[in-house]
Amino acid sequence: MAVTNKPIPRFASEAEERAYWESHDSVEHLDWSKAEKVRLPNLKPSSTSISLRIPDGLLERIKIAANKRDVPYQSLIKTWLAEKVDGGS
């Protein structure tokens, strides 16, 4: 038996759309049994640029460590910061 889904309404604003989906179930509009998994490999997490003052000698040591690992020094700094914040070694 075919199920007829309601059309998704057009919304005047994001706030109107948000209010609609807070009070309606998407199964009224979509046949989730036909959904397919999607992979989005090129998405990058959003990031914010900051300025960080560190001594020249420390920066030089970081660049040397990054060069030994064949990674950009800024990437190495981000990795080290994430490990420290997450409790890694």
Confidence of residue 14 (pLDDT cuts 50, 70, 90): very high
63 closest CA partner among 75, 47, 51: 75
d(CA 11, CA 13): 6
Residue 63, token pair as written in the block: 């660049």
pLDDT of residue 3: 63
Model's pTM, two decimal places?
A: 0.49
Per-domain residue ranges for the chain? 53-89
User: Which pLDDT tens digit goes with each residue over 28-84?
Assistant: 899 888 899 998 888 888 888 999 999 999 999 999 999 999 999 999 999 999 999
For residues 64 and 76, is the Cβ–Cβ distance under 8 A? no
